[in-house]
Amino acid sequence: MTLQQIAASSSFDVSCDPATIYRLVSRLEERRIVRRIGFHSRAAHYCLRENHHQDYLICRDCGTVEVLDIACPVEHLEKQIAEESGFADLEHELEFFGRCGLCQR
C-alpha cells in the first residue's frame, strides 16, 4: 500500500495527517516490520514483512508494484551465502523493473 492508501483506509477509526502516517510507517520500517518497495522518486509502496519474503515487479513508467508469483530464484544462493559467510538472519530483496502491460500500449 502507498502512504495515501494507508491514510484513506477504512480500517482506521481515527484520521491522521499524512506527516503522522509517514512517521509511523518510517518507524515500522526501521524496526523491520514493514518493507519499502519501489522507486525512491515515486510514491513508495509498503508491505508487511512476514515469515517469508516476496519478490516484486515494478513498472518504470507508472510505478505499479506487483508480487512476483514464482518460486524465488535465489533462495538457495541465500542459504549457501549464509552457510559460507557465517552471517545469521540473512535475507535479500529482489525487485525487477520493466514496463507493465498498460504502459506498453
Kindly report, residue by residue over 6-22, the tens digit of the pLDDT: 888 877 777 778 888 88
In a domain, 105, yes or no: no
Does the pLDDT of residue 53 top 80, yes or no?
Answer: no
Does the pLDDT of residue 101 top 90, yes or no?
Answer: yes
pTM passes above 0.75: no
Q: What is the domain count for the chain?
A: 1
User: Domain residues for 67?
Assistant: 3-100
Q: How confident is the model at residue 81 (pLDDT cuts 50, 70, 90)?
A: very high
Give CA separation, 93 vs 35, 69, 80, in Å.
10, 14, 16
In a domain, 93, yes or no: yes
For the stretch 61-64, contacts whose Cβ atoms lie closer than 8 Å and that sit 24 or more positions apart, written own/partner, are 61/99, 61/100, 61/103, 62/100, 62/102, 62/103, 63/38, 63/39, 64/100, 64/102
Q: What is the mean pLDDT of residues 42-67?
A: 83
Q: How confident is the model at residue 104 (pLDDT cuts 50, 70, 90)?
A: very high
| pLDDT at position 8 | 81
- Secondary structure of residue 94 in the 3-state scheme: coil
CATH number of the domain that 37 lies in?
Answer: 3.30.1490.190
In a domain, 32, yes or no: yes
